[in-house]
């Protein structure tokens, strides 16, 4: 006999969480009953879908190969629902913390209004973490400004991201920054080597040499340090719009046109959720960054 849909749903839940107790709870089953259902699917296909230890759970190669097919079956089964309304759909979207809090958390309300049958779950992480989670089938999509590094992933542009070189008003009052040569008197604050926001300034063609460079990991940390007068930084324009408007930060070398990027909604090319994810992309593209 073929595995029943509930057993397939249990495999899907475990692949998303990689935690037995959490996955069992999400399916309203005891850990023992949940484990039995996963085992039934493994027995049917004749392969281990998960590598288990006392502390960790990970998809095996066979599990990663089979999971897109399982999700396609579950999606098709949902479409056969006798209800005249669209079948409920859960979509897990990953993004970095700052963008998630300022944009995606509020966007959930608009998505719910436009797509009432869709429930959006969020997961935060770095660009590398999100891509690994996508390839590992733990999330369905990711909002990121980094282009996919593999053809297994596809991207839908959803918003343009502009940048500005900013500093605190107090800093530029005590240490002016009116021309490129003034950079030698200032500290450049940046995220990290994997996410050099200074690259968007370098795209302008203006050559700047700073006194030193300090990396702080996240754009939230950069904003905090810039507001404290610790240095200058290239930051997303939407992220510092309020600070600039309130006079807490000022644009440095405002006539220099920095490079820009695009936020993308990235998903697996073989995702069974692709039609829904593309509709979510359409909703997000209609909302301004903030």
Decide: residue 227, CB within 10 A, 0-12 exposed, 13-18 middle, 19+ buried. middle
Task: Supply the angle between the helices 105-114 and 274-285 in degrees, to the nearest 10.
Answer: 110
The answer to whether 211 and 187 are in contact (CB under 8 A) is yes
Question: Among candidates 194, 243, 193, 227, which has minimal Cα distance to 213?
Answer: 193
Strand partners, 285: none
The answer to whether 273 and 154 are in contact (CB under 8 A) is no
Question: Among candidates 224, 253, 229, 228, which has minimal Cα distance to 239?
Answer: 224
Percentage of residues in the chain having pLDDT higher than 70: 96
pLDDT for 81 equals 52
Question: Taking the mean position of all CA atoms in its chain, how far away is CA 134?
Answer: 10
Distance, CA of 143 to CA of 32 (rounded, Å): 36
The least confident of 41-50, 75-84, 149-158 is 75-84
pLDDT for 105 equals 93
Arithmetic mean of pLDDT over the chain:
88
Q: Which two tokens stand for residue 59?
A: 């998809």
Q: Which two tokens stand for residue 13?
A: 């839940």
Q: Which residues are CB-contacts of 142 (< 8 A; sequence separation ≥ 6)? A: 93, 94, 95, 130, 131, 133, 134, 265, 266, 267
pLDDT for 95 equals 94
Q: Which residue has the tokens 């909002």?
A: 143
Confidence at 218, pLDDT banded by 50, 70, 90:
confident
pLDDT digits (tens, 9 = 90+) for 221-273: 999 999 999 999 999 998 899 999 999 999 999 888 888 888 899 999 888 88
pLDDT for 141 equals 95
* Stretch 277-289: mean pLDDT: 86
Q: Report the residue count for the chain.
A: 290
Q: What are phi and psi of 286, to 5 degrees?
A: -90, -5
pLDDT for 82 equals 43
pLDDT for 91 equals 92
């Amino acid at each position: 006999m073929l595995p029943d849909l509930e057993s397939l749903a249990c495999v899907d839940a475990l692949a998303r969480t990689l935690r037995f107790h959490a996955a069992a709870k999400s399916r309203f089953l005891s850990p023992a009953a949940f484990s039995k259902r996963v085992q039934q699917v493994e027995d049917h296909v004749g392969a281990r879908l998960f590598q288990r230890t006392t502390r960790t759970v990970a998809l095996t190669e066979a599990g990663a190969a089979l999971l897109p097919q399982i999700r396609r079956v579950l999606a098709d089964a949902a479409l056969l629902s006798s209800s005249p309304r669209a079948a409920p759909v859960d979509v897990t979207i990953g993004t970095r913390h700052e963008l998630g809090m300022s944009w995606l958390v509020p966007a959930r309300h608009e998505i719910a209004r436009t797509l009432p049958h869709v429930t959006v779950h969020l997961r935060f992480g770095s660009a590398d973490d999100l891509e690994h989670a996508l390839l590992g089938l733990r999330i369905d999509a990711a909002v990121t400004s980094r282009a996919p590094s593999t053809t297994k992933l596809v991207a839908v542009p959803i918003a343009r991201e502009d940048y500005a070189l900013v500093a605190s008003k107090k800093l530029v009052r005590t240490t002016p920054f009116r021309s490129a040569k003034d950079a030698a008197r200032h500290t450049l604050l940046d995220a990290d080597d994997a996410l050099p926001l200074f690259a968007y300034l370098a795209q302008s063609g203006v050559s700047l040499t700073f006194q030193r460079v300090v990396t702080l990991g996240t754009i939230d940390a950069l904003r905090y340090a810039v507001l404290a007068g610790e240095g200058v930084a290239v930051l997303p324009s939407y992220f510092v719009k309020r600070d600039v408007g309130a006079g807490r930060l000022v644009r440095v070398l405002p006539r220099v046109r920095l490079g820009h990027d695009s936020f993308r909604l990235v998903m697996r090319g073989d995702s069974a959720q692709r039609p829904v994810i593309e509709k979510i992309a359409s909703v997000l593209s209609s909302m301004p960054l903030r």
